[in-house]
Amino acid sequence: MIGLAPSFVHCLEQHNSFMQTNVMIDIRVKKDLEQSHRLRQMLPIDYKRTTQRTFEVVEVAKASEDEWMYQLEEAQAADPGKIISTAVDMFAKGAYQDAVEKLKGDNDQTPQHVIMIEYIQAKMQPYPSSLD
């Protein structure tokens, strides 16, 4: 776990375990790694009355010495984690059903897809009322 202040580390570790990922980072570290690593956005964490975006480090981006910037741009355009990141953005904006459909429609299904779908569907359920 790398990133945010030490008070956030425990939350990030718990979230990493919940999401079944290997390396999870926050938005501050993402800015340093996004040009050299392939990242996937994961579910956000509610922390101290704010929403903290989290990202899984999937792998080091492959690029040779010649024209490496073009290769990185091409790799980002063809990134299979793009769908999951788009679904998380939809979820964060409140489009829960659209996010679920986007995740279900991804051909590159991972355990994180299942976790996210279940989590979002649980959020879509109405809270039980004590008035019933």
pLDDT at position 34, please?
Answer: 82
pTM for the full predicted model: 0.71
Q: What is the rounded average pLDDT for all residues in the chain? A: 82
- Residue 81 is predicted with a pLDDT of 80
pLDDT, position 118: 94
How many other β-carbons are positioned within 10 Å of the β-carbon of residue 79? 16
Q: What is the pLDDT of residue 61?
A: 76
Q: What is the mean pLDDT of residues 56-70?
A: 71
Enumerate the β-bridge partners of residue 52: 45
